[in-house]
A and B are shown apart, each in its own frame.
Chain A
Amino acid sequence: MERVIGIDLGTTNSCVAVLEGGVPKVIPNKGGYKTTPSIVAISESGRRLVGQMAKRQAITNARHTVYAAKRLIGRKWGSPAVLHCMETCPYEIVQGPHDDARIMLRGKEYSLPEISSIILQEMKLVAEEYLGEEPQKAVVTVPAYFNDNQRQATKDAGVIAGLDIVRIINEPTAAALAYGFGKEDLDATVAVYDLGGGTFDISILEISTGVFDVLSTAGDTFLGGEDFDARIIEHLAIEFAREHRVDLRKDEMSLQRLKDAAEKAKIELSTMQETEISLPFIYTKESGEALHLQTNLSRGKFEELVADLVHRAVKICGAAIQDAGLDTDDIDDVILVGGMTRMPRIQDSVKEFFGRDPSKAVHPDEAVALGASVQGAALVQDDHDILLLDVTPHALGIMVHGGGFQRLIEANTTIPTSHSHKFTTVRDNQTQVKIIVFQGDDDVAANNELLGEFIMGGLRSAPAGAVEVDVTFNISADGIVSVMAKDLETGKEHSITVTATSGLTEEELHNMIAENADYLVALKEDEELERERTKMSRLLREVEKLVTKLEGAESVEVQDACDGATLAIHNGRGAMESREQSEVSAALAALDSAKSMLESLID
């Protein structure tokens, strides 16, 4: 049976899982870690680094190291999200050709789907190593509150990475799947509180007879661990500036070190009351004087710094409960997901709000990937024990006369869903109807996310109101929007997948896929070369030993063999230097035969 892997493409960390023998299992990466940092970097020599490797060199290569790319994916140039990142991120964000944001690394522009594809690719390789075969299909998770543009961009990332994303599911829903998997008799209403690296989601679900029905979902795509870190960074930087009149955030390397220290302090404060932050030589003044940062941070101070963030999350919980038409008493269990939920203050706030201790049944870092793998298997398997009924997080609608937003599909509608709407011409002899599609919850269309606009042309010339166009809006099970327009008179159809201008064009996608394929070939070749070089260095030592042992023997035969071996050693060393695949292979073969020759002479 075909395998579908589940990938939690997180803001700070990613995780991959697969269902094996009926049990979902997280696949550890080469380093043995179950999660991989969602960090991509291009080294000075132009090498692509991903995950732990990228994280390790971030301090010295801050300008060309991308983290938290998920916060930018599917966002438009000039949107608050992009502006915020431009201020706080050390990497360079530039304007792309489709009014999208792109990241400049070593003189090359990368679109956000490309950056995400590199991470997906890495997770795919992690799975491939474990499964022994290349996984073709994946279920990828996104924050529940992602809009259509962000989902589309994530799908594009999958395409570039050569993965068939069979389904995009929401992170809290995935966590609920992991929670409810294998519990056949479960009949409960649960809340999933998902505070990850970059986003906050809350979903309310009813689980019964294997059906996972999402009642409501709410969230904030700009509330996550990164924001908690930022508060610490800000606090440290301001304290430092007060003392030394230097803004550490202006210096790339200092900022990166601050970032690392802030994250570490935050994690430590989950278990300790106070932590020490020590960053010697954090800054060197023009005068040559070195400055050090040495301070303590208490849990109380930290909680004070982030009090409003914690409160924001609680407020969103209230909205979700209300949307579900429930009271907090109706919730049977609260599931905590995401690394940030380890923070005691967060757990307390959840307990206060829901009036019960949150469940510790799922692993906060792994539940989402596990749930994704469960959904993947549920799709391709023939038994239909599990069914996910998810909702669309935002209302879908169109701009009407005067710039108003007319909702056609309400938020929290179960997907897949569709809605038909009849449009009539408003002017005499009007031959076109322009339809502008938005997603969001504001009554003013322009304040919502523009998904796209299209024109239905070729209408019959007639008095106003005489021509009718039937437009069907469709939201797929992935949460992706498509629109189909039909001229009721002529039956002419016009189908578009709504993509805002910031999406990638077919051609761009095509090029990116090709580029990625080239990279993969190069990567595989590199691995092969590395293996051969390791083998060669061992052979070199062995043959050298044999030569020393046999040298000085009188036999011409032995002398010849030693000469031959010496030559092979010489060539081998040359090949080690040159790193040419063909040379390495040839030298390796020569060494191998020299070795067996020498060995036969010893016997």
Chain B
Amino acid sequence: MLDDNVQPIPVADVDYKNLKVQPTPEDYFLLSRVNGKVTIAEICQISGQPRDTTHASLKRLVEAGLIRMPSPEPVAASAPNFGAEAVGGEAAPESVAAPVAPAAPVVADTRWDGWPGEPETHSMEPGLLAQGVDLDDAFKTEVSFMAAHLSSVSFYELLGVARDAGRKDIKGAYFKTSKRFHPDRFYGKDLGDIQPLVESVFHAVNKAYQTLSHKGKREEYDGTLSTTSSSPSSETNSAQPSSSSQAAPRPAPTDRKREMAFGVLLRQGEKHEEAREFAEAAASYKKAFGIKHDAAVAMRGANLLRRLDGEDFVSEAVLMAKAAAQQHPADIKPLVLIGDIYEENEDYADSLRYYEKAQELEPDNQSVRKRIEFLKKLI
């Protein structure tokens, strides 16, 4: 199992021709995210893939020698806690001014007790990350994680207090949590689709406190908890058979959402392209590809990248084109593009290799044949 807090480091000067294992396009996308600063937890968030798949990808990248894990060191200090900053993320200023949880490790260790995992392990609906521009990613994941599991945690777990917590502790926890999730905190901010999640979390927190702060209600609630220790939430609901004001968890990620996020990123890319900001445009296309493995968008990104100066751009262009090739193994365009890029950079052997692959697919393609003849002469 990979440690969530590890920040993988990209390996420089890799010989892409002789990789021990062949990474998938998804792996290449992840590779493009690895910069030595993002943690594995964050990579899991942005991958658009289930956590296990992401871990497998990262392992493949390590095996291929494309990334390496830093030597183990104590990471307790940066352990995720309630109110933790995004590491290297685009932390919005308001998160700094919201000292909800003290950095005391005691709190951090118990905050998510009883929850199915932690926010960092939560695979967030990728489209949501593009929403709520005024929020930092860590907060978005936390809210999304909480909203998804509201019905499966007890009121105690929701507030992050022990079962035998006193009235004062419960009040303290409630005040802290409220300060973090009350809609007033986001007054005038663009939350996009995150808004209903924040609201559902606040409503649930509210309900939890209303129950736990009332002696009679708390006793009644405790009674329902002890009878079904395995699934407290089902009992909660049956206490109010007719209806429940507890905010319903969000529906599972829908394709429509993905499609929307993909569209947003695509438009973003086009805008950058119009403004002749090719590097930014390519980055948007890359993100879009992460959400939906669309070969066309990868090709578009690759085509932009190859026009930019700099070795990094070239290798990224190749990666994108390879990703496109992986999506459409029968299409020669990505292969030709890779060949072109290598040829431009005077890497004739590699260039030839890809043209030959293209020729295998379309033996009658005249221009490919011409390139091959030309390259063979050069070599």
Contact = CB atoms under 8 A, between A and B. Distances in A.
Contact of B203 (A211, A382, A417): A417
A416 B175 CA distance: 15
Nearest to A412: B210
A325 B178 contact: no
Contacts of B203: 416-418
Nearest to A388: B184
Contacts of A12: none
Interface stretch (B47-55, B58-66, B240-248, B330-338): B240-248
Interface stretch (A33-41, A291-299, A419-427, A451-459): A419-427
Contacts of A319: none
A414 B210 contact: yes
A529 interface: no
B171 interface: yes
Nearest to A422: B243
A384 B243 contact: no
B199 A209 contact: no
Contact of B179 (A387, A413, A419): A387
Contacts of A387: 175, 178-179, 182, 184-185
A413 B210 contact: yes
A418 B175 contact: no
B171 A208 contact: yes
B324 to A, nearest CB: 36
A418 B199 contact: yes
B183 interface: yes
B206 A380 contact: no
B97 interface: yes
Contacts of A378: 184
Contact of B243 (A389, A413, A420, A477): A420
B195 to A, nearest CB: 12
Interface residues of B, number: 30
A483 to B, nearest CB: 14
Contacts of A211: 175, 178-179
Interface in B60-93: 93
Contacts of B210: 413-414
Main SS at interface, chain A: strand
Given A208-B175, A325-B215, A387-B178, A382 B245 contact: no
Contacts of A274: none
Interface string A371-385: 000000011101110
Interface in A383-420: 383-384, 387-389, 408-409, 413-414, 416-420
Contact of A383 (B97, B172, B202, B247): B97
B98 A384 contact: yes
B169 to A, nearest CB: 12
Interface string B25-38: 00000000000000
Contacts of A382: 93-94, 97
Contact of B245 (A206, A210, A388, A419): A419
A477 B185 CA distance: 12
A477 B178 contact: no
A303 interface: no
B183 A418 contact: no
Contacts of A252: none
B214 interface: yes
A140 to B, nearest CB: 16
A416 B206 CA distance: 9
Contacts of A325: 214-215
A416 B201 CA distance: 12
A389 B182 contact: yes
Interface string A314-325: 000000000001
Contact of B178 (A166, A389, A418, A420): A389
Contact of A379 (B179, B187, B199): B187
B310 interface: no
A213 interface: yes
Contacts of A414: 206, 209-210
A380 B188 contact: yes
A416 B185 CA distance: 13
Contacts of B244: 420
A417 B245 contact: yes
A422 to B, nearest CB: 6
A211 B184 CA distance: 12
Interface in B236-284: 242-245, 247-248
A477 B186 CA distance: 13
A408 B244 CA distance: 10
Interface string A204-233: 001011110100000000000000000000
Interface residues on A, range: 20 to 34
Contacts of A421: 242-243
A352 to B, nearest CB: 28
B175 A384 contact: no
Contacts of A383: 97
B171 to A, nearest CB: 7
A380 B202 CA distance: 20
B94 A213 contact: no
Contacts of A206: 171
A419 B183 contact: no
Given A211-B178, A384-B97, A413-B210, A420 B184 contact: no
Given A380-B187, A382-B97, A383-B97, A418 B247 contact: yes
A417 B206 contact: yes
B187 A416 contact: no
Contacts of A420: 243-245, 248
Contacts of B187: 166, 379-380
Contacts of A422: 242-243
B94 to A, nearest CB: 6
Contacts of B176: 209
A388 B179 CA distance: 9
A209 B175 contact: yes
Interface string B85-119: 00000000110011000000000000000000000
Interface in B184-239: 184-185, 187-188, 199, 202-203, 206, 209-210, 214-215
B214 A384 contact: no
Contacts of B97: 382-384
Interface in A420-454: 420-422
Contacts of A409: 245
- A210, A384, A388, A477: which has the most chain B beta carbons within 10 Å? A384
- B172, B179, B188, B215: which has the most chain A beta carbons within 10 Å? B179
Interface in A468-513: 477
Nearest to A379: B187
A477 B171 contact: no
A210 B172 CA distance: 11
Contact of A416 (B183, B214, B245, B248): B183
A57 B134 CA distance: 53
Contacts of A388: 184
B251 to A, nearest CB: 11
A267 to B, nearest CB: 38
B196 to A, nearest CB: 10
Given A211-B175, A325-B215, A384-B97, A379 B243 contact: no
Given A208-B171, A387-B185, A389-B178, A416 B98 contact: no
A477 B244 CA distance: 21
B115 to A, nearest CB: 23
Contacts of B243: 408, 419-422
Nearest to B209: A414
Contacts of B175: 208-209, 211, 213, 387
Interface string A279-290: 000000000000
Those 7 A-B pairs whose CB atoms lie nearest each other, nearest first: A419-B245, A211-B175, A379-B187, A383-B97, A421-B243, A414-B206, A387-B179
5 contacts: A166-B187, A213-B171, A384-B185, A416-B183, A477-B183
Given A409-B245, A418-B199, 16 more contacts: A206-B171, A210-B179, A384-B97, A384-B184, A384-B185, A387-B175, A387-B178, A408-B245, A413-B206, A414-B206, A414-B209, A417-B203, A417-B206, A420-B245, A422-B243, A477-B184
